[in-house]
Amino acid sequence: MDEEWRQAIPLLVNLKVWENPDHEPVGISGVPEGLRCIGVGTDAAVFQAEVAPKYAFKLYAKEKSEKLNVEESIYAKLRGSRFFPVCFGSGGTFLVISYEEGPTLLECLLQGIPIPDQAVQDVEAARDYVRRKGLNPRDIHLKNVLLQDGRAKILDVSEYIKNGDDRRWEYLRRAYDDYYPLIKGKKVPLWLAEAVRTWYHQAGVDFSYEPFMKKIMRFTNFHK
C-alpha cells in the first residue's frame, strides 16, 4: 500500500455512512478534523484528507458494502484510460482513488459554467472504451462527470458490471443537443435541478423524454 494514503486511515476509522430511502443521498457521521466530504451519492460518500490530498477515499453505505470489491475490479479493467480516475487499492471499508479537480456537470449548470461539446464527446469516447473492455457504461449522470480544462473525467464506475441500458446518459446527451443552447452560460436554479432529479426518479419505467422536457420548460423562462 502507498505510504502516503495510509496516513489517512486513522481518520476513517470512526466514519459512518448509511443508505437513505427514495434515492436520497447517504447519511454520514463521525467526520473528524482533517477530513472533508467532497461528494455524496446514493450509495457512498467520498472524502479527502489533509495528510493525503492527492487521494479520495470512497466509503460505501454499510448496506452497499459489497460494491467496494466490485468497483475496485472494474477500475483495474479500466486502468490506463484518461477518462477515469486511478484506483490505488482499498482498505477494507473504503476505496482509494486519485483526487480529481474540477466542477461536476451539475455544478456547471448551477454556476453557469459553459459545458463544451468536447466534454460530451469525451463521455461518448469513454463509453466506447468501457464496452471494449467488456463492461457496460451505466449510471453516467451530471454528478459523476467532471469538467477538467474543457475535458471530461468520469467518476463512479460501480454499475459497469450490470446488464441493461439505463439510458441516463442518452437522455442527457439528447437534452444537451436539443435544449442546452438555450441555457448555456446561464445559472440553473438549484430548486429546479432538485425538482428535475425528483421527477426523473418518480417517473421510473414510465419515463418519456419529450413530455418530461416539456414539463421542465414550463418551469423556466427559456423557450425553443
Q: Could you give the residue numbers annotated as active site?
A: 139
Whole-Å CA distances, 159 to 2, 81, 144, 215: 27, 18, 12, 29
Cα separation, 199 vs 103, whole angstroms:
24
Report the amino acid identity of residue 184. K
DSSP the chain: --HHHHTTHHHHTT-EEE--STTPPPEEE---TTEEEEEE-SSEEEEEETTEEEEEEEEE-GGGTTHHHHHHHHHHHHTT-TTSPPEEEE-SSEEEEE---S-BHHHHHHHT----HHHHHHHHHHHHHHHHTT-------GGGEEEETTEEEE---TTTTS-S---HHHHHHHHHHHTHHHHTTSPPPHHHHHHHHHHHHHHGGG--HHHHHHHHHHTSS---
**Backbone φ, ψ for residue 99 (5° rounding):** -75, 130
